[in-house]
A = this chain, B = another copy of it.
């Protein structure tokens, strides 16, 4: 069967609570072994940001955070804990928008140093032990993906790709979806420009965001409360590449959508 005819998404369950220093690659291999899943060449392993952040020690306990005056000012605008705002601002290149809705819930949309535009700079308060702990995005999610990829390759001999995903809001559209904040082994963008459509005409502007598509698909199995932090995506026709996720960031100068 042609590999573009069917794609399978397989949940990797039973990955235990992750602590700083844990090997995410090893935990994925253990889970796969327990579930009797053997990796194949060209599998894409999608890993939720949260477990990567925890393993990399990107966890902050708010009790030790002293908010700056600016953080206190912003915290009033968006009705959030000033210590949480302090942590968010530490990850922030610029504030895109902030406000408070009628229901009192505030929103703080920022651009991170890696160019992602995210609510709260991706700083997350759910599923972290203690309640006062928050997770920050990995410092370099492409590197995180590379480490996991190389571990799995070393142990299994299989040439897989890894995508680190996060759940984000979007302009114009309600509801969250998962995107790729890091990747290794897969070219994030698949350029179909210059190819010919079924009628023989050249295809215009069909550069697909393959890594985002894979992350989004995996998100269908990663319900927040289902303890499924990793999904194997099998059968995707992708281009191998090591450039990482940076090419998914649109140059603001060419961004007509914002």
Contact = CB atoms under 8 A, between A and B. Distances in A.
Contacts of A63: none
A85 to B, nearest CB: 15
A55 interface: no
Contact of A97 (B190, B205, B257): B257
A204 interface: yes
Contact of A255 (B171, B223, B248, B249): B171
A107 interface: yes
A165 B219 CA distance: 18
A170 B257 contact: yes
A158 B111 CA distance: 46
Range for the number of chain A residues in contact with chain B:
35 or more
Contacts of A213: 177-178, 216-217, 219-220
Interface stretch (A9-17, A26-34, A137-145, A146-154): A9-17
A190 B220 CA distance: 11
A114 interface: no
A192 B117 contact: no
Which of the listed residues A172, A188, A195, A201 has the most CB atoms from chain B within 10 Å of its own CB? A172
Interface of A: 4-11, 13, 96-99, 101, 107, 109, 116-117, 119, 125-129, 131, 167, 169-179, 188-190, 192, 195-199, 201, 203-210, 212-214, 216-217, 219-221, 223-228, 235-237, 247-250, 254-258
A-B residue pairs, 4 tightest by C-beta = A175-B209, A217-B217, A171-B257, A7-B9
14 contacts: A6-B8, A97-B256, A125-B201, A125-B204, A126-B201, A126-B204, A127-B198, A170-B171, A171-B250, A177-B208, A177-B212, A192-B225, A197-B224, A220-B237
